[in-house]
Amino acid sequence: MNASPVILWFRQDLRLQDNAALHAALARGGPVIPVYIWDEAGEGDWTAGGATKWWLHHSLVALDASLQTRGSRLIVASGDSGEVLSDLITETGAEAVYWNRRYEPAVIARDKIIKADLIAAKIEAKSFNSALLFEPHTIQNKQGKPFQVFTPYWRHCLTLPMAPAVVIRKGDFPAPAEWPASLEISKLKLLPTIKWDGGFYEAWTPGETGAQAQLKRFIAKAMEAYSDQRNTPGIEGTSRLSPHFHFGEIGPRQVWAAVQALSKDSGVFPPNKGSQTFLSEVGWREFAHHLLFHFPQTPTEPLREDFKKFPWAKDKDGALLRAWQRGQTGYPIVDAGMRELWHTGWMHNRVRMVVASFLVKHLRLPWQHGAEWFWDTLVDADLAQNTLGWQWSAGCGADAAPYFRIFAPVTQGERFDGSGEYVRQWVPEIAKLPDKFLHAPWTAPENVREYAKIGGNYPDPVVDHAQAREAALAAFKSLRGDS
Ligand code: FAD
């Protein structure tokens, strides 16, 4: 047992249950001082975007409230993480700093320096894993190299032992005799200054309690049918856990345990096809972190070297990019997705693939532009998963969609939103069109357009699908030198 305080440095692990660093801090004995440091420079080129900042504000409020129920509180600070920790150590007499690891390249580099500095100053510095089932540095293929294809990666992972979720004991956390000074969370100025976040409040409940409620809802209502319904954006067929995962309000070990609990009686795990597919999507999250760790250049550079020469189109005055960002491309499924994103900070995975393919293949604009827009507008913007998603969609990453797979936006709309529920919700200008024309409004006869009162409210397609497809195929072929 130790009487000196330990600083518990919260980062992207904003929960009390299954928190390995918290568990170790409690086991060490002595007062626990929970701290969050807003350190933009420490994130390198990827400081949080607008939507994730909104989430973070509310998640910190929720974490502080949970800590208060345990006789504790969250100390909030802003600035260089190393300096803030060092000042706190001086102020509180702490002799240890514990935290859970993150895996973004700039953060790894920063944390290594902080750990070395703390150890040099004779402070006990310990880091733990609470974010992943399989940490990237522990996984390699038979040749001792990182995996680049998902199926063998995941098959290999599933042969390995998996640590169970960490149980945090009930009751108060030991508090210091005197709390150090703290900023008010609002002083971090994380909330948007423009009126943008109204829809976020309707869609989300940031924080650990919200995450657990979301998991429960998904397991009770949607998991069994997940394999069939996960591609239908008009229904709530997926877990919507992604922002909770990103901020560590829930961890994959907890999700795994919740699914395992369903197998208690039958002994069959996973209990059904839906849960098996769902857990393999959680596996894609692991794979994304594996790739980012081993290929740290990929947030900005294609993994496939030859892709650097891709002949992108010229976008005069940025008009095409703007049409895409604002959901004004004239392709309803694309526009619905981009508007859902703006309004709620989230977009259904099927539609993410469609809009990403449209940007890269129909508009031939660099995938990095799309990744940046997502970074700023997604509440679940995550460097590993966003990078994987964009490189996959562009066809330049690991285990990527082949270049000749060009999603036809009309067919995608008809196939995955046949009833038009999704498009009608997000593109109300065309809601009165019959299903037959909904995904290609320009094909509707004039009298039908008049009846549906479209008027000049909805644009014609910014590019012709057939021509854009040919141009994209030619551009991809030119990379291989066989044009
Ligand atoms: P579910 O279907 O319920 O899946 C459960 C969990 O598995 C998700 O919460 C997520 O953590 C993980 N997951 C699911 N699909 C994927 C996937 N394809 N790749 C990696 N992990 C996955 N996801 C993010 O969390 N942050 C991002 O910034 C992000 N950017 C993306 C960009 C593009 C272009 C694309 C195509 C996908 C992106 N994804 C991203 C992956 C995926 O779209 C989201 O994780 C998913 O839509 C979140 O919804 P859900 O929680 O309901 O997922």
Average pLDDT over residues 443-454: 93
Among 216, 217, 254, 281, residue to substitute to test ligand 1 (most atoms within 8 Å of Cβ): 281
Using the predicted structure, report yes or no on whether residue 107 has a pLDDT greater than 60: yes
Average pLDDT over residues 178-202: 96
388 is in an annotated binding site: no
- Whether 281 sits among the annotated catalytic residues: the reply is yes
Using the predicted structure, report yes or no on whether residue 83 has a pLDDT greater than 70: yes
SS3 call for 157: helix
* Distance between CA atoms of residues 370 and 271, nearest Å: 37
* Distance between CA atoms of residues 253 and 166, nearest Å: 8
Question: Which atom of ligand 1 is the closest one to the Cα of 245?
Answer: 11
Residues sharing a CB contact under 8 Å with residue 264, sequence separation 6 or more, in sequence order: none
Cβ–ligand 1 contact at 288 (below 6 Å) = yes
Using the predicted structure, report yes or no on whether residue 350 has a pLDDT greater than 80: yes
Q: Which CATH class is domain 305-479?
A: mainly alpha
Protein residue with its CA nearest to atom 35 in ligand 1: 389
Cβ–ligand 1 contact at 252 (below 6 Å) = no
What's the ipTM?
A: 1.00
The residues facing 63 across adjacent strands are: none
Kindly report which listed range (171-180, 394-403, 439-448) carries the lowest average pLDDT score: 394-403
* Distance between CA atoms of residues 96 and 125, nearest Å: 6
- Whether 342 sits among the annotated catalytic residues: the reply is no
**Which tokens hold the place of 423?**
């498009």
- Whether 367 sits among the annotated catalytic residues: the reply is yes
Percent of the chain predicted with pLDDT > 90: 94
Average pLDDT over residues 272-286: 98
- Which carries the bigger pLDDT value, residue 22 or residue 479? 22
* Distance between CA atoms of residues 289 and 146, nearest Å: 11
172 is in an annotated binding site: no
In Å, how far are 229, 342, 362, 370 from 338, measured between CA atoms? 21, 6, 15, 11
Using the predicted structure, report yes or no on whether residue 232 has a pLDDT greater than 80: yes
Query: What's the CATH number of domain 132-165+208-294, 3.40.50.970, 3.30.110.40, 1.10.10.60, 1.25.40.80?
Result: 1.25.40.80
Where in the chain are the domains? 6-130, 132-165+208-294, 305-479
Per-residue confidence band for 483, with pLDDT thresholds at 50, 70 and 90 = very low
Average pLDDT of the residues of the chain: 96
Average pLDDT over residues 332-346: 98
Protein residue with its CA nearest to atom 17 in ligand 1: 284
* Distance between CA atoms of residues 338 and 323, nearest Å: 10
* Distance between CA atoms of residues 285 and 125, nearest Å: 28
- 224, 231, 236, 349: the catalytic one is 349
pLDDT in tens, 239-260: 999 999 999 999 999 999 999 9
Q: Which one-letter amino acid corresponds to residue 420?
A: G
Average pLDDT over residues 357-367: 98
Provide the pLDDT for residue 372.
98
6-130 placed in CATH 3.40.47.10 = no
- State the distance from the centre of ligand 1 to the C-alpha of 242, rounded, in angstroms: 6
**Of how many residues is the chain composed?**
483
Using the predicted structure, report yes or no on whether residue 481 has a pLDDT greater than 80: no
pLDDT in tens, 375-407: 999 999 999 999 999 999 999 988 877 778 899
The residues facing 8 across adjacent strands are: 34, 98
Protein residue with its CA nearest to atom 42 in ligand 1: 349
Average pLDDT over residues 69-97: 98
241 is in an annotated binding site: yes
Average pLDDT over residues 469-483: 85
Contact 433, 441 (CB under 8 A): yes
Q: Which residue has the tokens 């989300």?
A: 204
240 is in an annotated binding site: yes
Q: Please, what is the end-to-end C-alpha distance for the chain in angstroms?
A: 71
Protein residue with its CA nearest to atom 33 in ligand 1: 389
Question: Which atom of ligand 1 is the closest one to the Cα of 353?
Answer: 36
Using the predicted structure, report yes or no on whether residue 482 has a pLDDT greater than 70: no
In Å, how far are 137, 138, 139, 140, 147 from 144, measured between CA atoms? 11, 11, 9, 5, 9
- State the distance from the centre of ligand 1 to the C-alpha of 32, rounded, in angstroms: 34
266 is in an annotated binding site: no
What is the pTM (predicted TM-score) of this model?
A: 0.98
